[in-house]
Amino acid sequence: MINVMQIGGFDAVINYDPEIDMFRGEFVNLNGGADFYASDVAGLQQEGKLSLDVFLKMCAEDGVAPRKSYSGKFNVRIPPELHEHLVLKAASAGKSINQLVIESISSAVGS
């Protein structure tokens, strides 16, 4: 189960913090940190909006785009045996390693 709440067009991951008996939301894909706490869903939505508004105001004041940008490239370290199996699987499917990885990731994350 993915614990994601969308607030103001931005995604926040929600987790329960047993030490303080509250839920914690943290916005992802921002150019900085913005988090919030509440004990219920309505509170999360309210506190999330406040946190996001403060973050967006700071971005506007600083002339910074609020969303993080991504290059589309990342490095992954895998065991040599897995790399060998990946090469074999890709070759037998008539695909590049990149194509096979993109398909696998898309399937895993639902995109």
Read off the pLDDT of residues 58-67 as tens digits, 9 standing for 90 and up: 999 999 999 9
CA distances from 35 to 14, 15, 48, 56 (A): 10, 11, 7, 13
Please list the ranges in the chain whose pLDDT falls under 70: 1
pTM: predicted TM-score of the whole model, two decimal places: 0.76
DSSP state of 69: P
DSSP state letters, 10-34: EEEEEEEETTTTEEEEEE-SBSS--
Q: How is the chain split into domains, by residue range? A: 4-62, 80-109
Q: How many CA atoms lie within 13 A of 34 on its CB side?
A: 27
